[in-house]
Chain A
Amino acid sequence: MDWASDSIQKVEKTRAERMKQAPPVLSDADKDELLREFHPDFVGMKRPVRVGPNADDQEFPNELADLLEADSPLPEDFQPRADIETDVLIIGGGGAGVSAALALEGSGLTVHLATKLRLGDSNTVMAEGGIQAALGPEDSPRRHFADALAGGHGKNDPALLRALCEAGPSAIDWLTGLGCMFDQNPEGSFRLRSGGGTSTPRVLACRDYTGLEIMRVLRDALVQGSANLLEHHSAVELLDNGQGLTSGAVFWNSKTRRWVTVSARAVLLATGGSGRLHFQGFPTSNHFGATGDGLILAYRQGCPLVHAHTFQYHPSGTSYPEALVGQLVTESIRSIGAQLLNKDGEQFVEELTFRDVVASAIIREVVEGRGVKTPTARRGVWLDTPMIELKSGEGTIRRQFPGLIHRFERYGIDPAKQPILVYPTLHYQNGGVSIDSDGSAGNVGLWAAGEVTGGLHGTNRLMGNSLLDITVFGRRAAESIKNNLPKREALTLAALARFREELKSLDHKSSETSPILFPKESGMKLEIDAGEGAGTKTETSSAQQETTSYEPPDPFSRPA
């Protein structure tokens, strides 16, 4: 990082002094102003959608609004006929879907779990910092609730949030019983850390690979169970019985390039987030498949979205080297003492306040000309990782954050010795499909769990609450499905037909189809093989014609 040596020298020079310094603390009014002036949710490009259950009632980022108003890739004359009949269809192979499938073991129900990529390819596997549960001596589920509600700006659905916080300890017990190994203190108890916005230590972790640990254990348990796996099956449409009851789904098998229709008595939507839509041109820490498919599917069934105009921009996405741009640097790095600094080596924000505030403060530094510019014209601020070694002893970073070291060492950067450059990265879909505390999406036959849902986290999620969300609500939805299993219903595309009628009223139609299934930057497309079966025309989605090598430019890194 020779190109930044002047600035790094300033960081090194001020380090000893800063060790003794308290961070600048913002008043609540200052935080509100910072969010209003710099957070992408407030200043980004957005517009209302004109069709569907949220028509004209709120604004969505343009990228999402375009997809909500887009047509389905299914041919007009598609006739759904069941290729597979099952009791429970789970759509999504991440933490929420797999937790649900495990909770259905032993129920006697036939379960099919469909996933667009491979089992476990998800945002879950990429989560680093940890999972919250009220297990500390000064803690309680009520305190957990209060922290998350304050972090979510009071917008959280209180019933959902209470269910989450009360289930924290038992969720950890469940994961431990499956074999998850969370980090321990020397005497053997769980090590609990603070996270941004926790008022007492509450975050359990497995180094900086917590999501990987949880996902690989869940996946291992699942493949030893009885659920039927449908890998490389992308859901493109939900089916209903003609009277608003969900009865199955149509998939596109990306290996055979054919449609596959599944009839199910219950459908659980666990399709995750949408960071790969690159709202406002931001890079993302999300996995390859995070294209918001579930939002689109539920929306066409008439399910309203809640808080789906708010997204979490994680304060510390990698800004250099180019190959790692957007990748997460866990919040735990700040929990154990690394400061955020501008190009002059000055601290500008309290590192452990809420994520949206920290991200906005970083954007402000950059917009006002106090950021660092990389050789590829990206911008960022320093995360002073060597401070951790000074505070907690040499070797701490390597021991506790092997993932961070492994990624940066490839590119000749040693975070134990050099600060790393970070900038907010699109990380989490705060809102989504509205559910009740049993995971029901309000449409008989349809349940939803995990990142695809909204309400639980309000408009800003705390670190460690999403891994808890998927384990708690995946299993709650499964319990509810067991107890309220509808009977098998007819397969129709009535909801889609209604939606298509609505689309006809629009003056300007979107040229895209949705869900897009693959991120635009990949250039990959939904293609149907000519041959027998339904929808025999060769179809190419118009959604992904343009390919770009780099992420789109970030409008917030405009010069001062």
Chain B
Amino acid sequence: MKKTDFLRFLSAFELSNTKISKILDIMAEDFSFEKFVNEDELEKVLHEDYFTIVKKANEKFLTAYIEKLNALDIKIITRADEDFPEKLLHVDDPPYYIFYKGDLSLLNDKCVAIVGTRMPSPYGITVTERFAKELALAGGVIVSGLAYGVDSIAHRKALEENGKTVAVLAGGFNNIYPQENYSLFCEIATKGLVLTEHRPDVKSVKYLFPQRNRIVAGISDALLITEAGAKSGTTITKDFALDYGVPIYAVPGNITSTKSEGTNALIASMQGICAIDPQSIIDDLGLVKKKKVSQQLSIDEALIVDKLKDACSDIDEIQLKTKLNINKLNSLLTTLEIKGIIKRLPGGLYSLS
């Protein structure tokens, strides 16, 4: 049996990387089931799991397992395969195998991880969308973790702009967390790439998220944090990025906002590069920005766009500034939104997109 098939076999049992490496040492280049079954050393490594695994150590089980994955349209690639993504080998505690759906070659492009709080403020939403859009348009691959908030906004924006995006899951494919993002997951699986280290039935439990973050940081060429509070899961991703030497960009926020404490601290401690313009990241990564077609606006539309330049506002504020009739304003805002020039945020706020 080939090494890659042997690793596939092991992937069915959720073993830690340490155990897998010990098993590989014991097997010493002979990856047959006979040897696996007869090797007594293995019992010391696998402990209580030993008998369950040995019982299943046969061709029949392996074929059934692979067939099951195929039925779910889940592909698996192992370190023994030639086209195993180079980037994954440089991750801390590199995985022996990866389950994925979609186009694995995306990892060869310039990847930018966009992460942040699960509950972004209107400001956080605006900047996440702006950066995700510009980076996606420039051909960057947006990497994130399919979580609530910044993660899903970044994924969605990339898809909206027909850009590429990669989602790294904490659990298996049959347990998408959060469930609300299932449709987003399906969309990324067909248009981008979703990957995880875990077999399909593994639940996304708490301790798996930091492990996921190590991959997010590892496969990216840059890490962008758009909005994060002082205590945030983002800190873990940031620490991994620091280890790997991946450049960290942080979007500065209002110093009175608790939601920007984390990003502001990053900038203050010089760990993060202050990101005020997507262009700087695009330049640093050596990407080329595509020219956008400018749209014709009516006088009133231009007036609204002008008033929204400084900050997002609610409709009463826009009305005060533009002195437009409320029914006219209502319809103008919708038209601008359809044209994709402005964006409606929760709470009835509008901002430039």
B partners with A: no
Q: Which residues of A contact B (CB under 8 A)?
A: none
